[in-house]
Amino acid sequence: MSDAQTFARAVELQRAGQLDQAAALYYELSQTTLTTNLIQNLAGCLVPLKRYAEAECWLRLALEQRPEDASLLEQFDDLQAARSA
C-alpha cells in the first residue's frame, strides 16, 4: 500500500471511530512521511484515547515548525482542556 493509500485508510478508520487502528497507521506513516496534517490527525486520535502525553509531544513538534498556525494552536488548547477535564 502506498503512503497516500495508508493515509486515506487511516482517515477512514478515524472517521469510523476506530482510533487505535488509525493511530497505528499514522505512527507507521510518521516513520517516512511527517507532515503537519498527519500530526494533527494523529493527535486527533490520541486525545480521545486519553493518550495526552503522546498527543502533546506530537503537537509540540508541529508547533516548532509552524508556531503561529491557528489550527495547531487551537488543537493544542483543546488538548489542554481535555487533559484538565
Question: Over the Cα atoms of the chain, what is R_g?
Answer: 12
Q: Can you give the pTM of this predicted structure? A: 0.93
pLDDT at 75: 96
Question: In 3-state terms, what secondary structure has residue 18?
Answer: coil
pLDDT higher than threshold 90 for residue 38: yes
pLDDT at 85: 85
For the residues 17-36, what does the mean pLDDT come to? Answer: 96
The span from the CA of 20 to the CA of 44, in Å, is 11
CA terminus-to-terminus distance, the chain: 39
Which pLDDT band holds residue 57 (cuts at 50, 70, 90)?
A: very high
The number of domains in the chain is 1
CATH number at residue 10: 1.25.40.10
CA dihedral 74, 32, 27, 13 (to 10 degrees): 80
For the residues 28-49, what does the mean pLDDT come to? Answer: 95
Give the domain extent around 10: 3-84
